[in-house]
Amino acid sequence: PACFFNFMTLFCELTCSPRQSDFVSATNFSTFDKNTTNSSLNVVLFFLGDATCCETLGERFENCLRVLFSSWGSLCVRHPLTVILTSVVLVLICSAGLSYMSITTNPVELWSSPSSRARQEKDYFDQHFGPFFRTEQLIITTPLNASGVFSPTSGPDIHFSSILNISLLHQVLDLQTEIAKLTAEYKGETVTFKDICISPLAPYNDNCTILSLLNYYQNSHEVLDHEDVVFYVNSDYHTHFLYCVSSPTALDDTSKSHDPCMGTFGGPVFPWLALGGYEGTAYNNATALVITFPVHNYLNDTDKLGKALAWERYPCLHRFVNFVKNYDNPNLTIAFSSERSIEDEIDRESNSDITTIVISYVIMFVYISLALGHINSFWTLLVDSKISLGIAGILIVLSSVACSLGIFSYIGIPLTLIVIEVIPFLVLAVGVDNIFIIVQTYQRDERMPEEELHQQIGRILGEVAPSMFLSSFSETVAFFLGALSSMPAVRTFSLFAGLAVFIDFLLQITCFVSLLGLDIRRQEANRPDILCCVKLSDGQQEKSEGCLFRFFKKIYAPFILKGWVRPLVVAVFVGMLSFSIAVVNKVEIGLDQRLAMPDDSYVLDYFGNLSEYLHTGPPVYFVVEDGHDYKAPEGQNAVCGGVGCNSNSLVQQIYTISNVPSSWLDDYFDWVKPQSSCCRYYNSTGAFCNASGKPLSTKSTEPLPQGTFIQGAVCFGGCLKFLLQLPLGHAAYSTAVDLKENNTDVGATYFMSYHTILKTSSDFIDALKMARELTDNITQAIGPHNKTYSVFPYSIFYVFYEQYLTIVYDTAFNLGVSLAAIFVVSTVLLGFELWSAILVSFTIAMILVNMFGVMWLWDISLNAVSLVNLVMCCGISVEFCSHIVRAFSVSTRSSRVERAEEALAHMGSSVFSGITLTKFGGILILALSKSQIFQIFYFRMYLSIVLLGAAHGLIFLPVLLSYAGKSQCSNIHKSQNPVINLKFTVLCGMSQNLSHFG
């Protein structure tokens, strides 16, 4: 045997560069066959043909990897303390970056790219008009049956709903008044509602804007009780209500009390903003009162913004959120929300689920610690267990995550909640699988004569590390390419995940290999696990195959690859694939914001009432960028909506889809028209008089000349500025017009309207699409062809829902890039076996398509969260598939079926125990989470990923390889047989087994 060994070694060296005349090519040997004696060789010799260039290159690449990892493993075992200490120091240095860690919870930063159209338009709006105000809102209903009938002086009786009962209105007014008196503390200062509220007429009128029905009654109990009685009730709160809902801008209701309808803040309260639960314009049948407290939002002033945040919610009962949450009135049912509520509830959700996540990981950790050990007998239980090694493997996984977070924190990339919640799960799936493969391969191996421990572990690492490198590097490249996504949440996840997976692989082939060597020495010294200082009496240590391995080898693998089972497996999986393809386009797009809230969140009631009662959607602003000429008649007619304006003007096009457009230009025309009695200026001095007609001086006033404004007189800028200083103009349009050039010209402006009622994600997405289509048409209609400005729509929700306009493309791009990366890396690391890489990629693609089928069956929508999970699914699927395919490619059995059976027997148990069983217990715990988003997007999707991955990797893939795997005749890879196995490559159809040597 020794002579033959030396001869074959020399022969391999001589034939490393195959020529046309070579009899053999690309030989390899590694270990003795277990079924032979240690002094014999089991060699299968094949009749040879020419090896292709790729086969030769692949053979050399495989040899390089094998030698490299073997040498590295031997080095790590010979110098364990040096390797471990070096690893610990590097981990600590990288993890120190966590001190610079910042977490992004701002939904805008999570879901909207800074370069996206919605973000750019939001920035433009904020810079020219200020950020959209913060909204504190109450929706109030009543459980009482307090409806009544009002009998007017003429006409039929009018029904008034329970919530419009005067007694309840007084109670609501008390609540509203108490909220307006709430205070907060911020940096030692007392913050009142007046400090942060929107006062459109300040400083002349510092009353806060409160959009409430009670503002029809000037927020006064006395006005609410006004009655005009002769022989019967002539007018009271009923008649005032009916008058104001039809004329909300009226300054006099013509009653004896002459009560105005305009709010105390100087602006109107439109009934569709203050009432809910009615049909058409039957406001008297409203079943809900809506009270909105607009609060200033500050773009670059953190102190002022801090005051608003403190007033909204602070750890004290006398703040808005806590006050309303604890408000007790059995006659009123209150659903409410503040501007910060969603972000606060998401944070609370994450904190509340920490316990669930910890329990989930503890279960997985306990399983790993126990499952790594291979107990040969009861008497050697303490010696054979590998609890300490399992804990070390877990710490390595967590260290790789900490290093990834720390390195990117050094760079200044902020974390997201998705990164914190998902990446440990992902790296655990990848890392534990590799740990099981290393340990279980050693447990099944027999040390050869004259072979030392470091040589054995090096040889084992040379066998399994290329497969680990294949899976880990494929995932790393796939994740890093996923960072090309424009969606911040997906990009951040991909960066952190890719680095964490690669660092985990590096720690496994260094630190873990050294720890494995120490643990084996401990076991061979007959010292118990954990208590390694204790020396037990020597006993004979025998190695035996584990139960799971014997099950896969003796029962499962032969059954799956039976002649009648294989066609059945193919039929079932083809049916699953066909069904999934049919329902891919039926998966809903979007994310119901209610799912992001904990089950016990007060915001859920608010969302429900919002959909049920509100009769108008969010406000939408049609912004005309700076550049339009409002002085020229053509520019005016292209925008205005009155008589003589273009039929396709901006206001006219908005009016076709909304009956409540707000146009400062049309109101300005009404204000300056010659027959108006409100606008006068002194021809001699150019000074203005006020809106009531009272002159600013004793001089008489003269009307503006006919057609002055339409002809573009110099009065335009000054007149407009004066209009915006008047109470009504200032309240309605002070922020809508951006004056420039010393207030003589108009820059950017907006025209406001409202969306229709939006309830579902598809409603919001469609609203965004329609608004953009409308503004594209307006842009084409209002300006010259060489214009450098445009019209765009802006609403507060656009930055969140814009992602869904391209979510299908983003999903296809991210998954396509990931699959392409896996294909390229698999091709190289499988020794340039193109067909094997195609089978790996095809199986992973099947898993992804089947995931869409599961998403449709389980009501999981497609959004950024599910996209992150799909990208993670792509990475985990590599673990289920790549090890099996590589084991198949290096098998030396004669037929595809036998090679598939051997691959499944040897790698199937490690994959099953390393991924499937590890994750299964932890995933089940996620079902107990209080968070709906955890239950749907984590429990359901994670469970589907693991089950589909296991089914395809352990059932479908071996059957596929038995039908379509690469034939043995052209295979030149090395065997994983633990004894030296010499194998020669041949051309297809020319192989012939000549003899066996032993």
| CA 880/CA 896 separation, integer angstroms | 19
| CA 483/CA 420 separation, integer angstroms | 17
pTM of the model: 0.77
Residues 522 and 654 in one domain: no
We report the CATH number of the domain holding residue 81 as: 1.20.1640
Write down the pLDDT at residue 49: 45
Please, what's the b/e burial string for 959-992 (b: 16 or more CB within 10 A of its CB; e: otherwise)? bbbbeebbebbbbbbbbbbbbbbbbbbbeeeebe
Name the DSSP class of 526. T
Segments of the chain scoring below 70 in pLDDT: 1-52, 54-55, 58, 229-233, 299, 314-318, 349-353, 373-383, 530-546, 659-661, 672-718, 727-728, 743-744, 783-786, 930, 968-998
H/E element holding 418?
Answer: helix 417-443
Write down the pLDDT at residue 584: 94
Cis check for the bond before 156: say yes or no (omega within 30 of 0). no
Does some domain include residue 635?
yes
Write down the pLDDT at residue 706: 37
Write down the pLDDT at residue 970: 46
Write down the pLDDT at residue 407: 94
Write down the pLDDT at residue 542: 56
Alpha helices, DSSP H only, in 96-212? 107-111, 117-129, 166-180, 193-196
Write down the pLDDT at residue 343: 77
Residues 506 and 383 in one domain: yes
Write down the pLDDT at residue 693: 42
Residues 322 and 379 in one domain: no
Q: How do strand 103-104 and strand 415-416 relate by DSSP bridges?
A: parallel
Does some domain include residue 868?
no
Residues 323 and 377 in one domain: no
Residue 319 tokens read as 């703040």
Across the beta sheet with 737-740, what order do the strands follow? 737-740, 745-754, 619-624, 791-794
Residues 146 and 183 in one domain: yes
- Cα dihedral value 262, 266, 270, 275, nearest 10: -80
Residues 304 and 443 in one domain: no
Are 957 and 843 spatial neighbours (Cβ–Cβ below 8 Å)? yes
Residues 408 and 528 in one domain: yes
Are 357 and 417 spatial neighbours (Cβ–Cβ below 8 Å)? no
SS3 for 45?
strand
Q: Work out the angle between the directed axes of helices 417-443 and 387-411 (0-180°, nearest 10).
A: 140
Alpha helices, DSSP H only, in 314-416? 320-325, 341-352, 354-371, 381-384, 387-411
Residue 396 tokens read as 């390595």
- Sequence-ordered list of residues with C-beta below 8 angstroms from that of 827, at least 6 positions apart, any chain: 833, 834, 837
| CA 322/CA 314 separation, integer angstroms | 8
Are 404 and 398 spatial neighbours (Cβ–Cβ below 8 Å)? no
Task: List the one residue out of 901, 921, 903, 908 whose CA is nearest residue 950.
Answer: 908
Phi and psi for 406 in degrees, rounded to 5? -65, -45
How far, rounded to the nearest angstrom, does the alpha carbon of residue 705 sit from its chain's CA centroid? 60
SS3 for 589?
strand
- Sequence-ordered list of residues with C-beta below 8 angstroms from that of 3, at least 6 positions apart, any chain: none
Write down the pLDDT at residue 765: 92
Handedness of CA 634, 638, 641, 644 (dihedral sign): positive
Does some domain include residue 732?
yes
Residues 167 and 257 in one domain: yes
Residues 281 and 203 in one domain: yes
Total domains, the chain: 3
| CA 471/CA 825 separation, integer angstroms | 9
Does some domain include residue 830?
no
Residues 268 and 397 in one domain: no
Write down the pLDDT at residue 233: 53
Residues 662 and 746 in one domain: yes
SS3 for 993?
strand
Does some domain include residue 872?
no
| CA 369/CA 965 separation, integer angstroms | 36
Does some domain include residue 834?
no
Does some domain include residue 814?
no
| CA 318/CA 311 separation, integer angstroms | 9
H/E element holding 946?
Answer: helix 941-951
| CA 423/CA 876 separation, integer angstroms | 12
CB atoms within 10 A of CB 635: 18
Name the DSSP class of 795. -
H/E element holding 845?
Answer: helix 834-857
- In degrees, rounded to 5, the angle at the alpha carbon of residue 754 between the alpha carbons of residues 753 and 755 is 135
Determine the structural domain holding residue 155 and report its residue range.
133-345
| CA 778/CA 652 separation, integer angstroms | 10
| CA 273/CA 179 separation, integer angstroms | 19
Tokens 């289920």 belong to 880
Gap between the terminal Cα atoms of the chain: 8
Write down the pLDDT at residue 709: 38
Does some domain include residue 466?
yes
| CA 440/CA 438 separation, integer angstroms | 6
CB atoms within 10 A of CB 290: 24
Write down the pLDDT at residue 352: 63
Rg value, the chain, Cα: 38
* DSSP string across 908-977: HHHHIIIIIHHHHHHHHHHTT-SBHHIIIIIIIHHHHHHHHHHHIIIIIHHHHHHHHSPPGGG--PPP--
H/E element holding 996?
Answer: strand 993-997
Residues 394 and 441 in one domain: yes
Q: What is the pLDDT of residues 712-732, one digit of tens each?
A: 444 566 677 777 777 667 777
SS3 for 794?
strand
Task: List the one residue out of 123, 176, 136 whose CA is nearest residue 308.
Answer: 136
Number of H helices and number of E strands within the chain?
Answer: 39, 18
Task: List the one residue out of 311, 303, 297, 315 whose CA is nearest residue 106.
Answer: 297
Q: Work out the angle between the directed axes of helices 957-964 and 864-890 (0-180°, nearest 10).
A: 50
* DSSP string across 314-331: -SSTTSHHHHHHT---TT
Handedness of CA 876, 492, 508, 388 (dihedral sign): negative
| CA 754/CA 969 separation, integer angstroms | 71
